[in-house]
Amino acid sequence: MKRFDVGPMATPEYSGWWSKRINDNIPGPSQEGVRSMEEYLQVVPSEIEIIKQDFEKRNSELGKKIEQLEEEKMHLRLDIDVQRLETEKLRKWKNKADEDLDSLKTDYKKFHLSMRTADRWERKF
């Protein structure tokens, strides 16, 4: 003889309800949307605190920008010092060239005068 066994048949909805039931068909509280104790006790910052945080962030950014500008300023000062040294060197070379030119003019005048004098002496004799 064949035997046919029939077990309890349950739908997925019934199984879900059965797993949630506590104390004679009273479903337990839903865990959806429940905040943890840390989240519940977390202090919401006030408007002034938010403004203060924004100010501190902006202040930090501006501080970094100032540091960059100071560094750039230092590099520009170094460039100015290098240019100043090159200018002084060129000025010294110019002064030396002017002195040499004046000396050459003086020597040329003396030479020209001595040539005239020598030419006159030759004519006399």
What is the full DSSP assignment across 48-108? HHHHHHHHHHHHHHHHHHHHHHHHHHHHHHHHHHHHHHHHHHHHHHHHHHHHHHHHHHHHH
pLDDT surpasses 60 at 1:
no
pLDDT score at 107: 94
Q: pTM, whole model, 2 decimals?
A: 0.41
Rounded Cα–Cα distance for residues 98 and 100 (Å)? 5
Task: Return d(Cα 25, Cα 18) in angstroms, integer.
Answer: 8
**pLDDT digit string, tens, across residues 62-78:** 999 999 999 999 999 99
Looking at residue 69, its pLDDT comes to: 96
Q: What is the mean pLDDT of the chain?
A: 83
The per-residue pLDDT for 65 is 97
Q: What percent of the chain has pLDDT over 70?
A: 77
Range in 25-29, 44-48, 62-66, 85-89 with the lowest mean pLDDT: 25-29
* Nearest-angstrom CA–CA distance, 62 and 77: 22
Tens digit of pLDDT for each residue in 5-37?
Answer: 555 666 778 777 667 766 555 555 666 666 777
Mean pLDDT to the nearest integer, 44-71: 94
Position 90 confidence tier, pLDDT thresholds 50, 70, 90: very high
